[in-house]
Chains A and B, each alone.
Chain A
Amino acid sequence: MATVEEKKMTQTEQESIVKVENLKKYFPIKGGILKRTIGHVKAVDGVTFDIKQGETLGIVGESGSGKSTLGRVILKLLDSTEGNIFFEDQDITKLNNKKMRPIRRDMQIVFQDPFASLNTKMSIEQLIEEPLLIQTDLSKDERKEKVNSLLKVVGLRPSDRLKYPHEFSGGQRQRISIARALAINPKFVIADEAVSALDVSIQAQVLNLMADLQEEFGLTYLFISHDLSVVKHISDRVGVMYLGRLVEIAPKKAIYEEPLHPYTQALLSSIPDTDVDREREVIKLEGDLPSPSNPPSGCAFRTRCPMAHERCAVERPELIHKGDGHYVACHLYDDEA
């Protein structure tokens, strides 16, 4: 781990590969006979952050907090409603499919469900070859060679080439997905709950594989997960999402050791601990995640926040810098600034 951190320090810290500004994704709710839009599900509601070259940014949040939508919007698999997405300083927000194609070489995604993310009618060779076919001019033999080397990289045998997805286990399939994502040497990979569907032992394998690949190919990850321990294991920085908003983003150490936002504190106190002797205060949250189609006024978390006061209902807190790259969106902290 130390070597990775050292490497990161030597890199120019400020160079960001992906930047999103005030990104919003609203899904319209249609109703009535005329199918008029009667409301919006605010899946992603004004998110701003950047991802530095070579780092892993973890995004955590409960289900329905808009993590996956965020990933899909950044990759432009979904169109954003508002805001801007920059990839290597190029604004890709408004690019159409054709203009996106060359950019897709550099950004890839690994999905959650290893049983749904591979086309079951294609052999492993066809699956891994497809990105090469679309994005490169390699000859047939060169592609074959590349497929073999990719299989080796993710720990599968070259003889697995001719098999079909149904012949593999979940963990193996996830390796195939990773091989497919890496085929065209992307710079940036989004892992959308990439290990959530796997057994704990397999999770560790895949996570280690991803960490190794990051070192080998200098990848940048956006690692989306609801699992705090997994995110802690792999991330350099962590962002916490609640109801489509980023409530806190900071280096891993800061988030896990001194969380500022009441939601982050509650979330972290819910991680089961193996140390029985340690005194732990579990913050229990009352109620459910409010509906993203009708979020609370002001701060989205105020309905469940133990520390909420009048101001939280009126004014939406913005992300403020509390030093050392630690940002938090909470009124408890902004009057001192």
Chain B
Amino acid sequence: MDTETVKTPNNSPEYTEDKSSDEVGKSPYQLALRRFMKNKLAVIGVVTLVIIILASLAAPLLTDHDPTDSEMLMIERPPSSEHILGTDGSGRDNWARLLYGSRISLIVGFSAMFFTLIIGVILGSISGYYGGKIDGLIMRFTDLVLALPFLVLALTIMSLVENITITLFVTIIALVSWPNLTRIIRGSFLSLREQEFVLGARSIGASDMRIIFRHMIPNAIGPIVVNATLMVAIMIIAESGLSFIGMGIPQPQPTWGNMLTEAMSVRILREHWYTWIPPGLCILVTVLAINFIGDGLRDAFDPKSNQR
């Protein structure tokens, strides 16, 4: 439904011969990609995110230091040619920690998104497609999880577990943040379920699985992709926040969040900008880039929202 208003020949003034040759046979996805590429902020977001991902992958090439290696004689040194961003309170190289830390932040962000997406798609589509009692049951369970305060729940689980690994950390934050995506997917499915093309699919005898995967998910892809993207940003923030207060990924494993922990001391905050500004800036830039991409995707999938 989304693309019609723009592409129906009658109400599109620029629908001319030369355009039709260019536009013929373009799938709605290709058209969305084209709209996305026209959005400058979104493209800048993609470029920024790609640079950050490449830097995290190329970390061993960009620094010779081990991010977990403490040099007791090199504590809290200012930037130098040896240590570009100085060293932290345990004598570890800040630049190396920043590069390797991005790996953790990105892994946590993307895998937690993936995890919530899987739970969200499964529960949301079952709930929205079948409706009735199943829907009621799943939605009440969702309400229950939503009612639990994220921070308190996360902190409780973290404090009960002795050794927090990345997998465990991702699992925990995904298990408390799936309800939003589930509700969004259920909402789209509820409205799609009554549409004529879904009834049409049923009338030709399509199975439930086929209807869900071939007809409903492709038509709900806009909200799903947009919210999944924004979920990455939310997860990166969650990791940083929890690591900052010392309840996330434990030291000496570097993450942007636990690098910020150093700034809890007023002395460091005032005098050693090079320890906390770079990770703070990295979080800001990454989250901003992801949010731009999310907005760009939203406009690309739903052109109407952009016609102000």
Give residues 284-298 of B contacting A (CB, 8 Å): none
What 1/0 flags go to B183-215 for Cβ under 8 Å of A? 000000000000111011111111110100011
Residues of A within 8 Å of B201, CB to CB, are 119, 130
The residue that A167 contacts in the complex, of B10, B23, B29, B202, with Cβ under 8 A, is: B23
Our pick among A101, A113, A116, A121 for the contact of B218 (Cβ within 8 Å) is A121
Q: How far is the CA of A120 from the CA of B26 in the complex (A)?
A: 12
B28 within 8 A of A: yes
Q: Is A166's CB under 8 angstroms from B204's CB?
A: no
Q: How many Cβ-Cβ contacts under 8 Å join chain A to chain B?
A: 94
Q: How far is the CA of A310 from the CA of B92 in the complex (A)?
A: 98
Instruction: State the main secondary structure of chain B at its contact with A.
Output: helix
Q: What are the 3 A-B residue pairs with the smallest beta carbon separation, nearest first? A: A104-B205, A117-B196, A121-B218
A108–B27 touching, CB < 8 Å: no
**Interface core residue of B8, B26, B200 (most chain A CB under 10 Å):** B200
Is A169 on the interface with B (CB-CB < 8 A)?
yes
- B39: shortest Cβ distance to chain A, in Å? 20
B4 to chain A minimum Cβ distance, whole angstroms, is 5
Q: Are A120 and B205 in contact, CB atoms less than 8 angstroms apart?
A: no
- Is B160 close to A, CB under 8 A? no
Cross-chain contact A101 with B205 (CB below 8 angstroms): yes
Q: Is A327 an interface residue (CB 8 A)?
A: no
Which residues of the partner chain B approach A134 to less than 8 Å between Cβ atoms?
204-207, 210
Q: Is A162 interfacial (CB 8 A cutoff)?
A: yes
A63, CB-defined interface residue at 8 Å:
no
Contact between B24 and A180 (Cβ–Cβ < 8 Å)?
no
Judge whether B200 and A180 touch: CB under 8 Å.
yes
- Select one of B202, B218, B221 contacting A119, CB under 8 A: B218
Is A162 a contact partner of B25 (Cβ separation < 8 A)? yes
User: Out of A105, A122, A180, which one reaches B205, CB within 8 Å?
Assistant: A105
Query: In this complex, what residue of A is CB-closest to B23?
Result: A167
Contact with B along A112-151 (1 / 0, CB 8 A): 1101111111110000001100110000000000000000
Quick check: A77 and B199 within 8 Å, CB to CB? Answer: yes
16 pairs of residues in contact across A and B, judged by CB atoms under 8 Å: A77-B203, A104-B204, A104-B205, A112-B196, A116-B197, A118-B197, A120-B4, A120-B28, A121-B218, A123-B25, A134-B204, A134-B210, A164-B25, A166-B3, A166-B28, A167-B24
Q: Is the CB of A169 within 8 A of B197?
A: no
For B26, the closest partner residue in chain A by CB is: A164
Is B1 an interface position by the 8 A CB rule?
Answer: yes
Query: B246 in the interface, Cβ–Cβ < 8 Å?
Result: no
B219 at the interface (CB under 8 A from A): yes
Q: A134-B205, A135-B205, A166-B7 are in contact. Are A119 and B199 (CB under 8 A)?
A: no
Using a CB-CB cutoff of 8 Å, which residues 200-240 of chain B contact chain A? 200-208, 210, 214-215, 218-219, 221
For A75, the closest partner residue in chain B by CB is B203
Q: Interface readout for A234-270 with B: 1 if CB under 8 Å, 0 if not?
A: 0000000000000000000000000000000000000
Closest to B2 in A: A120
- Mark out the residues of chain A between 90 and 123 whose CB falls within 8 Å of any chain B CB in the assembled complex: 97, 100-102, 104-105, 107-109, 111-113, 115-123
Residue A184 CB within 8 A of the other chain: yes
Residues on A with C-beta less than 8 A from B195 are: 116
Whether, in the assembled complex, B9 has its beta carbon less than 8 Å from a beta carbon of chain A, the answer is: yes
Q: How far is the CB of A242 from chain B (nearest CB, A)?
A: 25
Task: Tell me how far the C-beta of B120 lies from the nearest C-beta in chain A, rounded to whole angstroms.
Answer: 20
| Bound: A121/B198 CA distance, A | 12
Q: Which residues of B contact A115 (CB under 8 A)?
A: 1, 4
- Given the known A-B contacts A164-B26, A166-B28, are A117 and B200 also in contact in the complex, defined by CB atoms under 8 Å? yes
Residue in A109, A121, A123, A164 whose beta carbon sits within 8 Å of that of B203 in the complex: A109
How far is it, in angstroms, between the C-alpha of A77 and the C-alpha of B2 when the chains are bound? 25
CA distance A111 to B201 in the complex (A): 12
CB-nearest residue of chain B relative to A121? B218
A232 at the A/B interface (Cβ < 8 Å)? no
Please state if A130 and B204 are interface contacts (CB–CB under 8 Å): yes
Residues of B within 8 A of A108 (CB): 203-204
**Known contacts A104-B205, A105-B205; 8 further A-B pairs (Cβ under 8 A):** A77-B202, A116-B1, A116-B196, A119-B218, A120-B219, A121-B28, A130-B201, A130-B204
Within 8 A of B (CB), among A54-113: 72, 75, 77, 97, 100-102, 104-105, 107-109, 111-113
Are A131 and B204 in contact, with the CB atoms below 8 A? yes
How many whole Å from A124's CB to the nearest CB in chain B? 10
Distance in angstroms between the alpha carbons of A135 and B2 in the assembled complex:
30
CB distance from A156 to the nearest CB of B (A): 14
Chain B, 33-75, contact with A by CB distance < 8 Å: what is the 0/1 string? 0000000000000000000000000000000000000000000
Chain A contacts for B24, CB-based, 8 A: 162-163, 167
Q: Min CB distance, B223 to chain A, in Å? A: 14
Specify the chain B residue showing the minimal Cβ separation from A98.
B207
Q: A107 vs B200: C-alpha distance in the bound complex, in angstroms?
A: 12
